[in-house]
Structure 1
Amino acid sequence: MLFVLRMLLMGVHFVIAGALGLALGICRPFNPDNSRLCARLYALPAMWILRLRLKAQMGAHFDRSRPCVIVANHQSNYDLFILGNIVPPRTVCIGKKSLKWVPFFGQLFWLAGNVLIDRGNPLRARLSIRKTTEALQHKDTSIWVFPEGTRNQGKGLLPFKRGAFQMAIDAGVPIVPVCVSTYVRDMRLNEWDSGQVMIRSLPALSTTGLTSDDIPELIALCHSQMQACIEQMDNPQRTHEALAQTDAEQLT
């Protein structure tokens, strides 16, 4: 019963937030800070409706590393409401072109200055990526990317695609990994307290001096760091015990 009530409230909230965000986009179209404000419109009331507790550990480097390419793991559609709490100023997102058909949300996503990519048309996709790279270089704008390319449904971090890393290298900006605990696996929407979500940013990965040949190594480094961070957030006790055992072995 509680789940049904929550979904009804979320539906109403989605429409209201979409209408307000669309009005903001019409008043100042393509302003790169629209994305952050719209994200807050969706996120703050949604976290109250869902009764999800958020613990964010972003670190000073998260604010100092702009412009940058932010990469995050992608679990479900609830990411909009969770990650919307921490989107920094002048940050836009890359999404698939089909989003534009979602009522209210698709139109405000476009007016917020976000980038819609037609994955079925390689030429148009490359042109969109080129414009995004120019924004990183010259417009003091950061780009938020889900490098897995699809939702992993809480089944573990999927392989990363090259696009985000190529953009960062071409623009000469750092990559900032953002990790979210596997909330979708433990979320209890039919209970009053739905659970806790942890978000943690990692130190920026420099792309200075890197070329396309370095992308596989850069992807492997970013993926391994994010995987370790997610596992630590999901199993803090197990990680603590493993570290304690390692320390004990080093002392013997």
Structure 2
Amino acid sequence: MLKLLRIIIVVFLCIVICIFGTIYSLIRFKHPSNAGVVARCFGRLYPLFGLQVEHRFAKDVDKVGRCIYIANHQNNYDMVTISYMMMPRTVTVGKKSLIWIPFFGLLYWITGNIFIDRENRSKAHNTMAEVAKHIINDNVSIFMFPEGTRSRGRGLLPFKTGAFHTALAAGVPVVPVICSSTHNQIDLNRWHNGKVICEMMEPIDSAQFSKDNVRAFAEHCHQIMAQRLAELDAEIAAEKA
């Protein structure tokens, strides 16, 4: 019964957020901060899942400037955990099929996010080049999931290089955002589902890498994030003990 009640309430509130987010974004059509405003609205829904979420932001986060935020992508609960970490003047890059999701698809487009055709590799490469120009010309940051898919309890999956090629092309740093593990933690029939930590780390300068070693760039960021993920999980485990 608790699970059913939660699903009904969450679905209703998500539709409300989509409708009012669309109206809000029509007034400020494709303003680069729209996506962050809406993402943080979704990020406020975590108590409905019985979660306690701690958001930790990097020091002087408002002084980082244009960058590419890279985050781990675990499951659908990212919508109410890591989504709150979206900063002003930040948009995301998502697959074209998102446009067909009722209510959300229109919202995703009208908030200024960028669609990419993952089925066409050459077109996707050209899109990343356009994203780099978008960062420079429109003075925005990009929020991406470099794993490319949900990990669903498989740990931090290997990173694709698109985000890192874009960072090099735009000449901007990469800022890791890590969320502690939520796989198998949430039971919608349980009142309390524990603590989750979402943390924004210090920027990683892309100038120390080049197109010739972009894979090393991706692996360097992966190593840093995997280590921090393990540390956050250990911190939560110690609090439970």
TM-score (norm 2): 0.93
Structure 2 residue aligned with 1:182: 181
- Any gaps of 5 or more consecutive residues in structure 2? none
Alignment of 1:1-252 (within 5 A): 1-44=1-44, 46-208=45-207, 210-236=209-235
Counterparts of 1:125 and 1:99 in 2: how far apart (Å)?
16
Structure 2 counterpart SS, 1:93:
strand
Q: Deviations over 1:85-144 (max 9, x none)?
A: 221100000111110000111111111110111111234323322221112122220000
Kept in 2, the 8 Å contact 1:21–1:41? The answer is: no
Which structure is larger by alpha-carbon Rg, 1 or 2?
Answer: 1
Kept in 2, the 8 Å contact 1:61–1:204? The answer is: no
Distance 1:219 1:10, change over 3 A: same
Distance 1:86 1:237, change over 3 A: closer
Q: Deviations over 1:158-215 (max 9, x none)?
A: 0000000000001000000011000133123221112211011221110125321121
Following superposition, the deviation at residue 22 of structure 1 comes to: 1.2
TM-score (norm 1): 0.89
Give, as a single letter, the amino acid of the residue that structure 2 aligns with 1:43: G
- Any gaps of 5 or more consecutive residues in structure 1? 240-252
Counterparts of 1:220 and 1:193 in 2: how far apart (Å)?
36
Report how many aligned residue pairs link the two structures. 239
4+ runs deviating over 4 angstroms? none
Give, as a single letter, the amino acid of the residue that structure 2 aligns with 1:174: P
Q: Deviations over 1:209-245 (max 9, x none)?
A: 5321121211111111100100111112889xxxxxx
Kept in 2, the 8 Å contact 1:6–1:49? The answer is: yes
Kept in 1, the 8 Å contact 2:209–2:217? The answer is: no
